[in-house]
């Protein structure tokens, strides 16, 4: 039998499967989004059609944590799983009217059949990197909440009844104190995981040797690059982080300046922006002189800061590739 291509629409509680063979829909079924039901379905499917693992291609949109049971099931059964960017599938399917999970599963299945030669198979990250990813997400959640509560402490002090504010202040400070304790526990756990893994510990040490790169950026880079396995080229990661600039021209009427794309991971871009600001405006060195020279030439400050972000990314990839700490051989110019 020919290869069965399966499109999967992932939601919190269920998975919609659409099986197609040679442009024909073979079967459509809904499965509970839990590990055991998914494994049972895939095993029964292989037995029903007498298929080996190589005869199946599963394609689903990447929807974060909701794909975890499916990923685990495919990993245990050694079945190829392709997690594609939802926007890539959406823009390749043409115009459509109406939407439901069954239709979405069909669209994903026909997309996978059409572009199966471009499939990039997903593999679960190491347990340590997966734990780090979860801890970073949790820490971001707590930091966001702490900022909201701290804003309440300062913004409302002069605009509500003093007695009411005093009671509210007590409650807010109690919550903030608990959040700070949770953040401290997370930071301790992150450090423990890194120190327990020789490869991660070495990468963390190398990344932190680069000027402007602290522990938060180093950990985020290891998670985003899957330990520098998913990204081998600094230029590709610049595109992923929204640092690379692209031309926007069309015919003779549109002649826009090059600019970065909004299709990027804003979380790593934010951290890189803060690091670039520090090394460009606060730390004496090569990047500081680069920033001052470009600004003096009339370059836009934000464009120069973006260039500094790119330089930091290239330096981080360089120390990992060479497996040595960053060497400061720059000599200051004589004023």
SS3 content of the chain, % helix, strand, coil (to 5): 60, 15, 25
Cβ-based neighbour number of residue 34 at 10 Å: 14
Task: Return the pLDDT at 335.
Answer: 46
Would you state the structure tokens that stand for residue 297, as one six-digit string? Answer: 């030439």
Residue whose pair of structure tokens reads 């291509």 in the numeric block:
5
Task: Return the pLDDT at 70.
Answer: 94
Task: Return the pLDDT at 253.
Answer: 66
Task: Return the pLDDT at 66.
Answer: 92
Residue whose pair of structure tokens reads 């003096």 in the numeric block:
296
- Among 116, 127, 129, 117, smallest CA distance to 230 is for 129
Task: Return the pLDDT at 260.
Answer: 79
Residue whose pair of structure tokens reads 């059949």 in the numeric block:
113
Given a cut of 70, the residues of the chain with pLDDT beneath it are: 1-2, 252-256, 329-335
113-138 tens-digit pLDDT: 999 888 889 988 889 999 999 999 99
- What contacts 117, CB < 8 A, 6 or more positions away? none
15-37 tens-digit pLDDT: 999 999 888 898 899 999 999 99
Task: Return the pLDDT at 7.
Answer: 94
């Amino acid at each position: 039998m020919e290869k069965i291509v399966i499109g999967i629409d992932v939601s919190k509680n269920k998975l919609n499967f659409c099986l197609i063979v040679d442009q024909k829909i073979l079967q459509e079924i809904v499965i509970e989004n839990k590990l055991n039901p998914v494994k049972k379905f895939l095993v029964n499917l292989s037995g029903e059609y007498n298929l080996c693992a190589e005869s199946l291609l599963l394609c689903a949109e990447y929807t974060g944590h909701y794909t975890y049971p499916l990923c685990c099931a495919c990993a245990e059964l050694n079945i190829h799983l392709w997690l594609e960017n939802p926007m890539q599938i959406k823009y390749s399917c043409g115009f459509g009217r109406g939407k439901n999970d069954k239709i979405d599963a069909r669209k994903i299945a026909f997309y996978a059949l059409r572009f199966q030669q471009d499939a990039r198979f997903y593999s679960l990250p190491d347990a340590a990197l997966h734990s780090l990813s979860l801890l970073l997400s949790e820490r971001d959640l707590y930091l966001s909440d702490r900022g909201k509560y701290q804003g309440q402490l300062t913004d409302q002090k002069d605009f509500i009844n003093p007695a009411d504010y005093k009671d509210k202040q007590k409650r807010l400070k109690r919550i903030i104190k608990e959040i700070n304790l949770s953040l401290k526990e997370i930071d301790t756990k992150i450090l423990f995981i890194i120190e327990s893994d020789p490869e991660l510990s070495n990468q963390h040490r190398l990344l932190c040797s680069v000027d402007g790169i602290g522990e938060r950026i180093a950990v985020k880079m290891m998670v985003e690059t899957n330990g520098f396995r998913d990204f081998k080229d600094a230029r590709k990661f610049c595109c992923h982080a929204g640092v690379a600039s692209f031309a926007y021209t069309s015919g003779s009427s549109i002649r826009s300046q090059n600019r970065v794309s909004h299709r990027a991971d804003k979380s790593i871009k934010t951290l890189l922006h803060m690091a670039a600001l520090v090394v460009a405006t606060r730390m004496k060195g090569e990047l500081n002189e680069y920033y001052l020279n470009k600004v003096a030439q009339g370059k836009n400050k934000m464009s120069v800061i973006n260039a500094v972000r790119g330089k930091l990314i290239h330096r981080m990839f360089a120390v990992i590739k060479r497996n040595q700490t960053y060497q400061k051989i720059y000599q200051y110019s004589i004023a």
